[in-house]
Chains A and B, each alone.
Chain A
Amino acid sequence: MQKNKMYDKEKVLAGLTIFVIIVTFPFWYNMGKAAPAPEIKLSDKAKAAKVCVAPKSFMTAEHMQILDVWRESVVRNKKRLYSSLDGKNYNMSLSTGEDSCIGCHVSKADFCDRCHTYASVRPYCWDCHIEPKENK
Protein backbone atom coordinates (compact mmCIF):
# COMPACT_ATOMS: atom_id res chain seq x y z
CA MET A 1 0.00 0.00 0.00
CA GLN A 2 1.48 3.34 -1.03
CA LYS A 3 1.29 6.21 1.35
CA ASN A 4 -0.95 9.18 0.50
CA LYS A 5 -2.72 7.22 -2.18
CA MET A 6 -6.20 8.53 -2.91
CA TYR A 7 -8.90 5.93 -3.26
CA ASP A 8 -11.65 6.44 -5.84
CA LYS A 9 -9.62 9.35 -7.07
CA GLU A 10 -11.81 10.17 -10.09
CA LYS A 11 -15.01 10.25 -8.05
CA VAL A 12 -13.51 12.33 -5.25
CA LEU A 13 -11.96 14.84 -7.62
CA ALA A 14 -15.20 15.08 -9.61
CA GLY A 15 -17.08 15.75 -6.38
CA LEU A 16 -14.58 18.39 -5.31
CA THR A 17 -14.80 20.07 -8.72
CA ILE A 18 -18.58 20.29 -8.37
CA PHE A 19 -18.11 21.68 -4.84
CA VAL A 20 -15.73 24.40 -6.03
CA ILE A 21 -18.01 25.32 -8.95
CA ILE A 22 -20.99 25.66 -6.60
CA VAL A 23 -19.30 27.68 -3.88
CA THR A 24 -17.62 30.04 -6.32
CA PHE A 25 -20.96 30.69 -8.06
CA PRO A 26 -21.09 34.43 -7.27
CA PHE A 27 -17.54 34.89 -8.50
CA TRP A 28 -18.04 33.36 -11.94
CA TYR A 29 -21.65 34.43 -12.36
CA ASN A 30 -20.71 38.11 -12.36
CA MET A 31 -17.48 37.49 -14.31
CA GLY A 32 -15.75 40.29 -12.45
CA LYS A 33 -18.01 42.96 -13.94
CA ALA A 34 -18.28 45.86 -11.56
CA ALA A 35 -21.85 46.45 -10.45
CA PRO A 36 -22.10 49.93 -8.97
CA ALA A 37 -25.22 50.96 -7.15
CA PRO A 38 -27.86 52.66 -9.26
CA GLU A 39 -28.32 56.41 -9.02
CA ILE A 40 -31.86 57.41 -8.33
CA LYS A 41 -33.12 60.30 -10.39
CA LEU A 42 -35.08 62.86 -8.41
CA SER A 43 -37.80 64.62 -10.30
CA ASP A 44 -37.62 68.41 -10.65
CA LYS A 45 -40.49 68.76 -8.26
CA ALA A 46 -38.78 66.65 -5.61
CA LYS A 47 -35.55 68.59 -6.10
CA ALA A 48 -37.40 71.87 -5.66
CA ALA A 49 -39.16 70.68 -2.53
CA LYS A 50 -35.81 69.65 -0.98
CA VAL A 51 -37.41 67.81 1.94
CA CYS A 52 -39.43 64.61 2.07
CA VAL A 53 -41.74 63.66 4.92
CA ALA A 54 -38.69 62.57 6.90
CA PRO A 55 -34.90 62.97 6.58
CA LYS A 56 -33.29 61.22 3.63
CA SER A 57 -31.30 58.64 5.61
CA PHE A 58 -34.46 57.65 7.45
CA MET A 59 -36.46 57.45 4.23
CA THR A 60 -33.88 55.22 2.52
CA ALA A 61 -34.05 52.63 5.24
CA GLU A 62 -37.58 52.99 6.62
CA HIS A 63 -39.87 54.16 3.79
CA MET A 64 -41.55 50.76 3.60
CA GLN A 65 -42.44 50.94 7.27
CA ILE A 66 -43.91 54.43 6.85
CA LEU A 67 -46.01 53.16 3.95
CA ASP A 68 -47.15 50.22 6.04
CA VAL A 69 -48.16 52.50 8.91
CA TRP A 70 -49.89 54.86 6.52
CA ARG A 71 -51.85 52.05 4.91
CA GLU A 72 -53.04 50.88 8.31
CA SER A 73 -53.92 54.43 9.33
CA VAL A 74 -55.86 55.23 6.17
CA VAL A 75 -57.59 51.94 5.53
CA ARG A 76 -58.40 50.96 9.10
CA ASN A 77 -58.64 54.27 10.97
CA LYS A 78 -59.63 56.80 8.31
CA LYS A 79 -56.79 59.08 9.38
CA ARG A 80 -55.13 60.71 6.40
CA LEU A 81 -53.10 63.44 8.02
CA TYR A 82 -49.39 62.94 8.66
CA SER A 83 -47.44 65.48 10.67
CA SER A 84 -43.75 65.30 10.01
CA LEU A 85 -41.08 66.05 12.56
CA ASP A 86 -40.60 69.57 11.24
CA GLY A 87 -44.25 70.32 11.79
CA LYS A 88 -45.55 70.13 8.23
CA ASN A 89 -48.73 68.25 7.41
CA TYR A 90 -48.94 65.80 4.59
CA ASN A 91 -51.74 63.82 3.03
CA MET A 92 -51.08 60.11 3.54
CA SER A 93 -51.29 58.77 0.03
CA LEU A 94 -49.12 56.69 -2.20
CA SER A 95 -50.41 57.69 -5.58
CA THR A 96 -53.45 59.97 -5.39
CA GLY A 97 -53.06 63.67 -5.88
CA GLU A 98 -50.26 66.18 -6.17
CA ASP A 99 -48.96 65.79 -2.62
CA SER A 100 -48.84 62.00 -2.59
CA CYS A 101 -45.56 60.07 -2.85
CA ILE A 102 -45.94 59.58 -6.56
CA GLY A 103 -47.19 63.16 -6.95
CA CYS A 104 -43.68 64.30 -6.14
CA HIS A 105 -41.58 61.31 -7.17
CA VAL A 106 -43.30 61.18 -10.52
CA SER A 107 -41.40 58.39 -12.18
CA LYS A 108 -41.65 54.89 -10.77
CA ALA A 109 -38.95 53.66 -13.15
CA ASP A 110 -36.47 56.37 -12.18
CA PHE A 111 -37.22 56.50 -8.49
CA CYS A 112 -38.64 53.26 -7.11
CA ASP A 113 -37.50 50.57 -9.49
CA ARG A 114 -33.81 51.40 -9.72
CA CYS A 115 -33.02 50.41 -6.16
CA HIS A 116 -35.70 47.76 -5.89
CA THR A 117 -34.37 45.94 -8.93
CA TYR A 118 -30.79 46.22 -7.68
CA ALA A 119 -31.71 44.88 -4.24
CA SER A 120 -34.11 42.31 -5.72
CA VAL A 121 -37.10 43.65 -3.83
CA ARG A 122 -40.54 43.30 -5.32
CA PRO A 123 -43.00 45.37 -3.29
CA TYR A 124 -46.64 44.62 -3.83
CA CYS A 125 -47.81 48.25 -3.87
CA TRP A 126 -49.01 47.94 -7.42
CA ASP A 127 -51.10 44.84 -6.81
CA CYS A 128 -53.81 47.27 -5.62
CA HIS A 129 -52.68 50.73 -6.71
CA ILE A 130 -52.59 51.71 -10.34
CA GLU A 131 -49.08 52.17 -11.61
CA PRO A 132 -48.31 55.77 -12.56
CA LYS A 133 -48.13 56.45 -16.28
CA GLU A 134 -44.57 57.33 -17.08
CA ASN A 135 -44.29 60.83 -18.46
CA LYS A 136 -41.44 60.65 -20.85
Chain B
Amino acid sequence: MNLNYLFSLLAVTVLFLVPWVGVDILGKKELFGLIIPYFAVLIFIGGFIHRIIHWAQSPVPFRIPTTCGQGQSLSWIKQNKIDNPSTTMGVILRMILEIVCFRSLFRNIRLEYREGKHISYEWEKWLWLGALAFHWSFFVIIIRHMRFFTEPVPFFIKALEDLDGFLQIGLPGIFISGFVLLAAVLYLFFRRIYIHQVRYISLASDYFPLFLIMAIAISGIIMRYFTKVDIISVKEMTMGLVTFHPVVKEGVHTIVYVHLFLVCVLIAYFPFSKLMHSGGIFMSPTRNLANTTRVKRHINPWNYPVPVHTYEAYESEFREKMKEAGLPVEKE
Protein backbone atom coordinates (compact mmCIF):
# COMPACT_ATOMS: atom_id res chain seq x y z
CA MET B 1 0.00 0.00 0.00
CA ASN B 2 1.01 3.50 -0.78
CA LEU B 3 0.81 5.84 2.18
CA ASN B 4 -0.40 8.74 0.06
CA TYR B 5 -3.65 7.22 -1.02
CA LEU B 6 -4.12 5.31 2.18
CA PHE B 7 -3.95 8.58 4.08
CA SER B 8 -6.41 10.30 1.72
CA LEU B 9 -8.82 7.40 1.83
CA LEU B 10 -8.70 7.43 5.60
CA ALA B 11 -9.31 11.19 5.68
CA VAL B 12 -12.35 10.93 3.41
CA THR B 13 -13.72 7.99 5.40
CA VAL B 14 -13.47 10.02 8.58
CA LEU B 15 -15.13 12.98 6.85
CA PHE B 16 -17.88 10.63 5.72
CA LEU B 17 -18.46 9.51 9.30
CA VAL B 18 -18.30 12.94 10.96
CA PRO B 19 -21.81 14.04 9.92
CA TRP B 20 -23.23 10.59 10.71
CA VAL B 21 -22.03 10.96 14.27
CA GLY B 22 -22.72 14.69 14.44
CA VAL B 23 -26.29 14.51 13.17
CA ASP B 24 -27.48 11.05 14.11
CA ILE B 25 -25.92 10.72 17.53
CA LEU B 26 -25.18 14.24 18.74
CA GLY B 27 -28.13 15.84 16.91
CA LYS B 28 -26.17 18.88 15.75
CA LYS B 29 -28.39 19.64 12.76
CA GLU B 30 -27.88 23.41 12.88
CA LEU B 31 -24.12 22.97 12.81
CA PHE B 32 -24.10 20.66 9.78
CA GLY B 33 -27.09 22.13 8.01
CA LEU B 34 -26.50 25.86 8.46
CA ILE B 35 -23.26 26.97 10.08
CA ILE B 36 -20.77 24.81 8.23
CA PRO B 37 -22.27 25.56 4.77
CA TYR B 38 -22.12 29.32 5.35
CA PHE B 39 -18.54 29.12 6.57
CA ALA B 40 -17.56 26.92 3.66
CA VAL B 41 -18.94 29.39 1.13
CA LEU B 42 -17.17 32.29 2.86
CA ILE B 43 -13.86 30.41 2.91
CA PHE B 44 -14.32 29.46 -0.73
CA ILE B 45 -14.98 32.97 -2.03
CA GLY B 46 -12.52 34.71 0.28
CA GLY B 47 -9.79 32.14 -0.26
CA PHE B 48 -10.25 32.14 -4.01
CA ILE B 49 -9.95 35.93 -4.24
CA HIS B 50 -6.96 35.95 -1.90
CA ARG B 51 -5.16 33.32 -3.92
CA ILE B 52 -5.79 35.06 -7.25
CA ILE B 53 -4.67 38.45 -5.92
CA HIS B 54 -1.57 36.81 -4.51
CA TRP B 55 -0.80 35.29 -7.89
CA ALA B 56 -1.47 38.59 -9.66
CA GLN B 57 1.41 40.06 -7.67
CA SER B 58 3.96 37.90 -9.46
CA PRO B 59 5.50 39.78 -12.35
CA VAL B 60 5.75 38.10 -15.73
CA PRO B 61 8.79 39.77 -17.25
CA PHE B 62 8.66 38.36 -20.74
CA ARG B 63 6.29 36.64 -23.06
CA ILE B 64 6.62 32.87 -22.93
CA PRO B 65 5.51 31.78 -26.36
CA THR B 66 5.30 28.01 -25.97
CA THR B 67 4.25 27.80 -29.54
CA CYS B 68 2.19 25.13 -31.15
CA GLY B 69 2.16 26.73 -34.57
CA GLN B 70 3.82 29.22 -36.88
CA GLY B 71 4.27 32.63 -35.31
CA GLN B 72 3.71 35.96 -36.97
CA SER B 73 6.43 36.43 -39.54
CA LEU B 74 6.80 37.59 -43.11
CA SER B 75 3.62 38.27 -45.00
CA TRP B 76 3.95 35.19 -47.19
CA ILE B 77 4.38 32.79 -44.27
CA LYS B 78 1.02 31.68 -42.98
CA GLN B 79 0.56 32.34 -39.27
CA ASN B 80 -1.33 29.99 -36.99
CA LYS B 81 -3.44 32.67 -35.37
CA ILE B 82 -4.86 30.59 -32.53
CA ASP B 83 -1.92 28.44 -31.52
CA ASN B 84 0.56 31.27 -31.82
CA PRO B 85 -1.50 34.43 -31.50
CA SER B 86 -0.13 37.91 -31.87
CA THR B 87 -3.37 39.70 -31.03
CA THR B 88 -5.67 39.82 -28.01
CA MET B 89 -8.46 38.24 -30.05
CA GLY B 90 -6.23 35.28 -30.85
CA VAL B 91 -5.32 34.93 -27.18
CA ILE B 92 -8.98 34.97 -26.16
CA LEU B 93 -9.72 32.24 -28.69
CA ARG B 94 -6.79 30.18 -27.46
CA MET B 95 -7.95 30.56 -23.85
CA ILE B 96 -11.54 29.61 -24.65
CA LEU B 97 -10.41 26.51 -26.51
CA GLU B 98 -8.01 25.63 -23.71
CA ILE B 99 -10.69 25.97 -21.06
CA VAL B 100 -13.55 24.20 -22.81
CA CYS B 101 -11.59 21.63 -24.85
CA PHE B 102 -8.36 21.11 -22.86
CA ARG B 103 -6.19 21.34 -25.97
CA SER B 104 -2.97 21.15 -23.96
CA LEU B 105 -4.04 17.75 -22.69
CA PHE B 106 -5.01 16.71 -26.19
CA ARG B 107 -1.38 17.16 -27.20
CA ASN B 108 -0.34 14.55 -24.66
CA ILE B 109 1.96 11.93 -26.15
CA ARG B 110 3.72 8.94 -24.69
CA LEU B 111 7.28 8.00 -25.43
CA GLU B 112 7.79 4.32 -26.03
CA TYR B 113 10.53 2.03 -27.16
CA ARG B 114 9.40 -0.09 -30.04
CA GLU B 115 11.30 -2.95 -31.67
CA GLY B 116 14.37 -2.62 -29.54
CA LYS B 117 15.74 0.85 -29.29
CA HIS B 118 13.42 2.63 -31.70
CA ILE B 119 11.74 5.54 -29.98
CA SER B 120 8.18 6.20 -30.95
CA TYR B 121 5.69 8.77 -29.75
CA GLU B 122 2.29 7.30 -29.08
CA TRP B 123 -1.02 9.11 -29.18
CA GLU B 124 -2.29 9.17 -25.62
CA LYS B 125 -5.80 10.53 -25.56
CA TRP B 126 -7.26 8.71 -22.57
CA LEU B 127 -6.25 11.31 -20.02
CA TRP B 128 -7.75 14.03 -22.18
CA LEU B 129 -10.96 12.07 -22.62
CA GLY B 130 -11.19 11.24 -18.92
CA ALA B 131 -10.54 14.83 -17.92
CA LEU B 132 -13.10 16.11 -20.40
CA ALA B 133 -15.75 13.66 -19.15
CA PHE B 134 -14.92 14.51 -15.56
CA HIS B 135 -15.00 18.29 -15.85
CA TRP B 136 -18.03 18.55 -18.10
CA SER B 137 -20.15 16.14 -16.11
CA PHE B 138 -19.16 17.96 -12.91
CA PHE B 139 -20.17 21.22 -14.54
CA VAL B 140 -23.54 19.81 -15.60
CA ILE B 141 -24.09 18.44 -12.10
CA ILE B 142 -23.39 21.81 -10.49
CA ILE B 143 -25.80 23.57 -12.84
CA ARG B 144 -28.41 20.86 -12.25
CA HIS B 145 -28.11 21.29 -8.49
CA MET B 146 -29.18 24.90 -8.86
CA ARG B 147 -32.73 23.57 -8.84
CA PHE B 148 -32.31 23.36 -5.08
CA PHE B 149 -31.14 26.95 -4.84
CA THR B 150 -33.55 28.82 -7.11
CA GLU B 151 -37.28 29.40 -6.90
CA PRO B 152 -38.75 29.58 -9.51
CA VAL B 153 -36.27 27.33 -11.29
CA PRO B 154 -34.97 29.10 -14.40
CA PHE B 155 -35.64 27.57 -17.81
CA PHE B 156 -32.01 26.74 -18.62
CA ILE B 157 -31.72 24.53 -15.55
CA LYS B 158 -34.90 22.70 -16.50
CA ALA B 159 -33.68 22.32 -20.07
CA LEU B 160 -30.36 20.90 -18.87
CA GLU B 161 -32.17 18.48 -16.52
CA ASP B 162 -34.35 17.25 -19.35
CA LEU B 163 -31.32 16.78 -21.57
CA ASP B 164 -29.38 15.02 -18.82
CA GLY B 165 -32.29 12.69 -18.04
CA PHE B 166 -33.43 12.06 -21.59
CA LEU B 167 -32.78 8.32 -21.38
CA GLN B 168 -35.84 8.06 -19.08
CA ILE B 169 -34.53 4.92 -17.44
CA GLY B 170 -36.18 4.03 -14.15
CA LEU B 171 -37.93 6.32 -11.73
CA PRO B 172 -36.60 8.68 -10.57
CA GLY B 173 -35.04 8.81 -14.00
CA ILE B 174 -31.28 8.52 -14.14
CA PHE B 175 -29.16 11.55 -14.85
CA ILE B 176 -26.31 10.60 -17.15
CA SER B 177 -23.89 13.15 -15.70
CA GLY B 178 -23.82 11.59 -12.24
CA PHE B 179 -22.68 8.23 -13.55
CA VAL B 180 -20.25 9.76 -16.04
CA LEU B 181 -18.67 11.72 -13.18
CA LEU B 182 -18.28 8.63 -11.03
CA ALA B 183 -16.84 6.63 -13.91
CA ALA B 184 -14.45 9.42 -14.87
CA VAL B 185 -13.23 10.00 -11.33
CA LEU B 186 -12.66 6.27 -10.91
CA TYR B 187 -10.72 6.21 -14.16
CA LEU B 188 -8.58 9.16 -13.08
CA PHE B 189 -7.91 7.41 -9.78
CA PHE B 190 -6.97 4.04 -11.26
CA ARG B 191 -4.82 5.77 -13.85
CA ARG B 192 -2.84 7.36 -11.04
CA ILE B 193 -2.33 4.01 -9.37
CA TYR B 194 -1.80 1.88 -12.44
CA ILE B 195 0.78 3.96 -14.33
CA HIS B 196 3.81 3.72 -12.09
CA GLN B 197 5.42 6.99 -13.20
CA VAL B 198 2.21 8.82 -12.34
CA ARG B 199 1.92 6.98 -9.05
CA TYR B 200 5.47 8.00 -8.19
CA ILE B 201 4.71 11.71 -8.56
CA SER B 202 1.25 11.52 -6.94
CA LEU B 203 0.84 13.00 -3.50
CA ALA B 204 -1.83 12.73 -0.84
CA SER B 205 -3.17 16.05 -2.11
CA ASP B 206 -3.74 14.42 -5.51
CA TYR B 207 -5.71 11.51 -4.12
CA PHE B 208 -7.69 13.42 -1.53
CA PRO B 209 -9.87 15.44 -3.97
CA LEU B 210 -10.44 12.30 -6.04
CA PHE B 211 -11.68 10.35 -3.03
CA LEU B 212 -13.71 13.32 -1.87
CA ILE B 213 -15.42 13.72 -5.23
CA MET B 214 -15.98 9.97 -5.37
CA ALA B 215 -17.65 10.11 -1.97
CA ILE B 216 -19.79 13.07 -3.05
CA ALA B 217 -20.88 11.30 -6.22
CA ILE B 218 -21.61 8.06 -4.39
CA SER B 219 -23.59 9.76 -1.62
CA GLY B 220 -25.56 11.68 -4.27
CA ILE B 221 -26.33 8.54 -6.23
CA ILE B 222 -27.37 6.67 -3.07
CA MET B 223 -29.63 9.57 -2.12
CA ARG B 224 -31.36 9.85 -5.47
CA TYR B 225 -31.71 6.24 -6.52
CA PHE B 226 -31.58 4.10 -3.39
CA THR B 227 -32.41 5.46 0.06
CA LYS B 228 -34.61 8.31 -1.26
CA VAL B 229 -35.01 11.48 0.71
CA ASP B 230 -37.81 13.93 1.26
CA ILE B 231 -36.79 16.30 -1.49
CA ILE B 232 -39.27 19.04 -0.54
CA SER B 233 -37.79 19.35 2.95
CA VAL B 234 -34.30 19.32 1.46
CA LYS B 235 -35.17 22.14 -0.90
CA GLU B 236 -36.75 24.08 1.94
CA MET B 237 -33.42 23.86 3.78
CA THR B 238 -31.28 24.78 0.79
CA MET B 239 -33.59 27.65 -0.13
CA GLY B 240 -33.40 28.80 3.48
CA LEU B 241 -29.63 28.98 3.14
CA VAL B 242 -29.56 31.09 -0.01
CA THR B 243 -32.40 33.40 1.00
CA PHE B 244 -30.92 33.96 4.49
CA HIS B 245 -33.99 32.48 6.16
CA PRO B 246 -32.17 29.42 7.46
CA VAL B 247 -34.31 26.55 8.67
CA VAL B 248 -33.62 23.03 9.80
CA LYS B 249 -36.22 20.46 8.85
CA GLU B 250 -36.98 17.35 10.83
CA GLY B 251 -37.12 14.08 8.99
CA VAL B 252 -34.33 14.84 6.55
CA HIS B 253 -32.24 11.72 6.09
CA THR B 254 -28.68 11.84 7.46
CA ILE B 255 -27.27 11.04 4.03
CA VAL B 256 -28.31 14.57 2.99
CA TYR B 257 -26.13 15.99 5.75
CA VAL B 258 -23.30 13.69 4.70
CA HIS B 259 -23.55 14.85 1.09
CA LEU B 260 -23.78 18.49 2.14
CA PHE B 261 -20.88 18.20 4.54
CA LEU B 262 -18.62 16.58 1.95
CA VAL B 263 -19.45 19.35 -0.53
CA CYS B 264 -18.67 21.92 2.17
CA VAL B 265 -15.32 20.25 2.78
CA LEU B 266 -14.61 20.29 -0.94
CA ILE B 267 -15.34 23.98 -1.44
CA ALA B 268 -13.61 25.02 1.78
CA TYR B 269 -10.56 22.98 0.77
CA PHE B 270 -10.70 24.37 -2.75
CA PRO B 271 -8.64 27.59 -2.35
CA PHE B 272 -5.83 25.76 -0.58
CA SER B 273 -5.48 22.95 -3.07
CA LYS B 274 -4.61 21.99 -6.61
CA LEU B 275 -8.24 22.59 -7.45
CA MET B 276 -7.29 26.26 -7.78
CA HIS B 277 -6.21 25.42 -11.33
CA SER B 278 -9.73 26.58 -12.20
CA GLY B 279 -8.62 30.13 -11.44
CA GLY B 280 -5.01 29.50 -12.31
CA ILE B 281 -5.73 28.52 -15.89
CA PHE B 282 -6.67 32.14 -16.57
CA MET B 283 -3.29 33.22 -15.24
CA SER B 284 -1.07 30.80 -17.16
CA PRO B 285 1.57 32.96 -18.85
CA THR B 286 2.16 30.36 -21.52
CA ARG B 287 -1.48 30.56 -22.60
CA ASN B 288 -2.71 34.06 -21.88
CA LEU B 289 0.00 36.16 -23.51
CA ALA B 290 0.24 37.04 -27.17
CA ASN B 291 3.51 36.18 -28.85
CA THR B 292 4.74 39.75 -29.35
CA THR B 293 8.30 39.28 -28.19
CA ARG B 294 9.72 40.96 -31.30
CA VAL B 295 6.98 43.44 -32.10
CA LYS B 296 6.82 45.14 -28.72
CA ARG B 297 9.48 45.94 -26.16
CA HIS B 298 8.84 44.19 -22.87
CA ILE B 299 10.65 45.68 -19.92
CA ASN B 300 11.57 43.49 -17.00
CA PRO B 301 9.52 44.80 -14.07
CA TRP B 302 12.22 44.03 -11.55
CA ASN B 303 14.84 46.08 -13.37
CA TYR B 304 16.48 48.52 -10.98
CA PRO B 305 18.64 51.52 -11.93
CA VAL B 306 22.17 50.17 -12.52
CA PRO B 307 25.06 52.69 -12.13
CA VAL B 308 26.67 52.70 -15.57
CA HIS B 309 29.94 54.23 -16.71
CA THR B 310 29.46 55.42 -20.27
CA TYR B 311 32.31 55.84 -22.73
CA GLU B 312 31.66 59.58 -22.74
CA ALA B 313 32.23 59.79 -19.00
CA TYR B 314 35.24 57.50 -19.27
CA GLU B 315 36.81 59.67 -21.93
CA SER B 316 36.19 62.82 -19.93
CA GLU B 317 37.90 61.23 -16.98
CA PHE B 318 41.00 60.06 -18.85
CA ARG B 319 41.11 62.56 -21.77
CA GLU B 320 44.41 64.17 -20.86
CA LYS B 321 46.10 60.85 -20.19
CA MET B 322 44.77 59.43 -23.42
CA LYS B 323 46.12 62.41 -25.37
CA GLU B 324 49.50 62.03 -23.74
CA ALA B 325 49.57 58.38 -24.70
CA GLY B 326 48.58 59.28 -28.26
CA LEU B 327 45.22 57.52 -28.15
CA PRO B 328 42.45 58.93 -30.37
CA VAL B 329 39.71 60.80 -28.53
CA GLU B 330 36.26 61.72 -29.74
CA LYS B 331 36.10 65.15 -28.13
CA GLU B 332 39.08 67.45 -28.16
Q: Please indicate whether A and B come from the same complex rather than being unrelated chains.
A: yes
Residues from chain A with Cβ under 8 Å of B44 in the complex: 23
CB <8 Å contact, B279 and A19: yes
A9 within 8 A of B: yes
Interface segment out of the listed A34-42, A90-98, A100-108: A34-42
Residues from chain B with Cβ under 8 Å of A135 in the complex: none
Roughly how many angstroms separate A60 CA and B162 CA in the complex, as a whole number?
Answer: 22
Among residues of B, the one whose C-beta sits closest to the C-beta of A67 is B171
Given A23-B45, A36-B236, A118-B232, check contact A30 B158 (CB 8 Å). no
CB <8 Å contact, A1 and B242: no
Partner of A57, one of B48, B157, B244, B251: B251
CB <8 Å contact, B161 and A120: yes
B146 within 8 A of A: yes
CB <8 Å contact, B235 and A8: no
Partner of B304, one of A1, A12, A62, A65: A1
Interface segment out of the listed B57-65, B69-77, B108-116: B57-65
Give B243 Cβ to nearest chain A Cβ, in Å: 5
Partner of B52, one of A16, A65, A68, A117: A16
CB <8 Å contact, A118 and B45: no
Roughly how many angstroms separate A6 CA and B232 CA in the complex, as a whole number?
Answer: 46
Partner of A118, one of B52, B58, B60, B235: B235
Interface segment out of the listed B148-156, B190-198, B201-209, B214-222: B148-156
Partner of B230, one of A32, A34, A60, A123: A60
Q: Looking at chain B, what size class is its interface with the partner chain?
A: 35 or more
Among residues of B, the one whose C-beta sits closest to the C-beta of A71 is B171
B295 within 8 A of A: no
Residues from chain A with Cβ under 8 Å of B171 in the complex: 64-65, 67-68, 123
Mark out the residues of chain A between 26 and 63 whose CB falls within 8 Å of any chain B CB in the assembled complex. 26-27, 29-30, 32-38, 57, 60-62
Roughly how many angstroms separate A61 CA and B157 CA in the complex, as a whole number?
Answer: 23
Partner of A119, one of B149, B228, B235, B245: B235
A122 within 8 A of B: yes
CB <8 Å contact, A119 and B146: no
Give A56 Cβ to nearest chain B Cβ, in Å: 11
A5 within 8 A of B: yes
Roughly how many angstroms separate A23 CA and B279 CA in the complex, as a whole number?
Answer: 13
Residues from chain A with Cβ under 8 Å of B279 in the complex: 19
Among residues of B, the one whose C-beta sits closest to the C-beta of A1 is B302
Roughly how many angstroms separate A29 CA and B239 CA in the complex, as a whole number?
Answer: 11
Residues from chain A with Cβ under 8 Å of B327 in the complex: none
Partner of A32, one of B58, B153, B170, B244: B244
Roughly how many angstroms separate A9 CA and B1 CA in the complex, as a whole number?
Answer: 47
B316 within 8 A of A: no
B168 within 8 A of A: yes
Roughly how many angstroms separate A38 CA and B303 CA in the complex, as a whole number?
Answer: 66
CB <8 Å contact, B232 and A119: yes
B282 within 8 A of A: yes
Residues from chain B with Cβ under 8 Å of A119 in the complex: 147, 231-232, 235
Residues from chain B with Cβ under 8 Å of A62 in the complex: 228
CB <8 Å contact, B56 and A7: yes
Roughly how many angstroms separate A7 CA and B298 CA in the complex, as a whole number?
Answer: 14
Interface string of B132-162 (1 = CB under 8 A from A): 0000000000000011011111100110011
Sampled A-B contacts (23; CB under 8 Å): A7-B57, A7-B58, A7-B59, A12-B53, A16-B49, A19-B52, A25-B149, A30-B242, A33-B151, A34-B240, A34-B245, A35-B151, A35-B243, A37-B232, A38-B232, A57-B230, A61-B228, A65-B228, A68-B170, A115-B231, A120-B161, A121-B172, A124-B168
The list of the 5 closest CB pairs from A to B, nearest first, reads A26-B149, A35-B151, A61-B228, A120-B147, A68-B171
A residues adjacent to B (C-beta < 8 A)? 1, 4-9, 12, 15-16, 19-20, 23-27, 29-30, 32-38, 57, 60-62, 64-65, 67-68, 115, 117-124
